[in-house]
Amino acid sequence: MTILVTGGAGFIGSNFIYYLLKEHPEDRVLCVDCLTYAGNLSTLKEALEKPNFRFFKTNICDREGVYEIFEAEKPDIVVNFAAESHVDRSIETPEIFLQTNILGTQVLMDACRKYGIQRYHQVSTDEVYGDLPLDRPDLFFTEKTPLHTSSPYSASKASADLLVGAYHRTYGLPVTISRCSNNYGPYHFPEKLIPLMIANALNDKPLPVYGTGENVRDWLYVEDHCRAIDLIIRKGTEGEVYNVGGHNEMKNLDIVKLICDALGKPQSLITFVTDRKGHDMRYAIDPTKIHNELGWLPETKFADGIQKTIKWYLDNKPWWETIISGEYVHYYEKMYGNR
């Protein structure tokens, strides 16, 4: 089987590639990634040494380039991780989110129709459901929860999901969609909450918590997400959506405090800054469907996963220090300078 993974030089895509190479060494794995600021070829260093892995530096919006790869490689399964993924950036510059997340998805599905595939899998997000109130802990997102987006990022992901559904109904494309909650783990780009707080704490820099830090996210260790996607592409039902999440809700402020404690840094580094515009209050996934139909359950408890993650950032300083000393310096100044 040949599996084409887009966005594989980013956080979850790279973890998925390593998962496939470990769990399915009989498969060929192809990565298509145009290496935006969030893509890092050094992340795929060990994969690049494998004979059953190939990397293509191609933009998923480049129709000709994508068709050439499909023509030559004839993938059986396509898993689309490629996306602009950061909510804060989408608030500053929405257009690139619409291009990559919607039009790029269209190009990939057109290629799937033209060359034929067994499965197109769209990696979506729980953010397409909007948010839940803090005072209703009984509410969760199910696959039937209406789409109700808050940010240009989530609107672009929801648009892509609708397009995927349309390609299934109109053209009979064999698709599946997964909507996962917040991931954490190795290779997480340091603009996101957990790696940003680890990197700042290690450098004794202020830890910028948006608003009051009461917002709740439902954290899942990245490998559990990879296992869920692997199950869906092999055993999931065509045309179906699967929610993925581990019932692990945490307040942002509690996460940041935990990181301070784990690193032996003072909580006085915590600085409350202006809130994110349109900030979603709470995400919480009901994963009953994927559990009942595919037997998926998360394997990594948050207490273990966060320790493993912190250790990874301590052991892999060159990976994130290179990132935060590059273009990221300007990003950080723009986003946090006057906040």
Both structure tokens of 118: 């067994």
Nearer to ligand NAD (CB atom), residue 7 or residue 208: 7
Q: Closest residue to ligand NAD, Cβ-based?
A: 10
Does the footprint of ligand NAD cover residue 2 (CB under 6 A)? Answer: no
- Given 122, 215, 243, 248, the residue binding ligand DAU (CB under 6 A): 215
Does the footprint of ligand NAD cover residue 194 (CB under 6 A)? Answer: no
**Minimum distance, C-beta of residue 324 to ligand NAD, in the bound complex (Å):** 15
Nearer to ligand DAU (CB atom), residue 126 or residue 249: 126
Nearer to ligand DAU (CB atom), residue 53 or residue 141: 141
Both structure tokens of 10: 């980013």
Q: Closest residue to ligand DAU, Cβ-based?
A: 125
Nearer to ligand DAU (CB atom), residue 87 or residue 306: 87
Does the footprint of ligand NAD cover residue 305 (CB under 6 A)? Answer: no
Please give the residues from 166 up to 205 whose contact with ligand DAU meets the rule CB under 6 A.
181-182, 192-193, 196
Task: Tell which residue, 121, 125, 228, has the closest CA to residue 180.
Answer: 125
How many other C-beta atoms lie within 10 A of the C-beta of residue 112?
25
Contact 208, 271 (CB under 8 A): yes
Does the footprint of ligand DAU cover residue 105 (CB under 6 A)? Answer: no
In whole angstroms, what is the distance from residue 161 CA to residue 101 CA?
10
259 Cα distance to chain centroid: 21
**First vs last C-alpha separation in the chain:** 49
- Given 77, 82, 109, 126, the residue binding ligand DAU (CB under 6 A): 126
Site string for ligand DAU, 248-277 (x = CB under 6 A): ----x-----------------------x-
SS (H, E, C) 2-68: EEEEECCCCHHHHHHHHHHHHHCCCCEEEEECCCCCCCCHHHHHHHHCCCCEEEECCCCCCHHHHHH
- Torsion-angle region of 69 (φ positive above 0: left; ψ -120 to 50: alpha; else: beta): alpha
Does the footprint of ligand NAD cover residue 9 (CB under 6 A)? Answer: yes
Q: Which positions are catalytic?
A: 126-127, 153
Q: Where does 216-287 have alpha helices with state H? A: 222-235, 252-263
- Given 3, 66, 100, 228, the residue binding ligand NAD (CB under 6 A): 100
Provide DSSP, 242-258.
EEE--S-EEEHHHHHHH
Does the footprint of ligand DAU cover residue 127 (CB under 6 A)? Answer: yes
What is the contact surface with ligand NAD in residues (CB under 6 A)? 6-7, 9-13, 33-36, 38-39, 59-61, 81-85, 100, 104, 123, 125, 157, 180, 182-183, 189
What is the contact surface with ligand DAU in residues (CB under 6 A)? 85-87, 125-127, 181-182, 192-193, 196, 208-210, 215, 217, 252, 276, 283
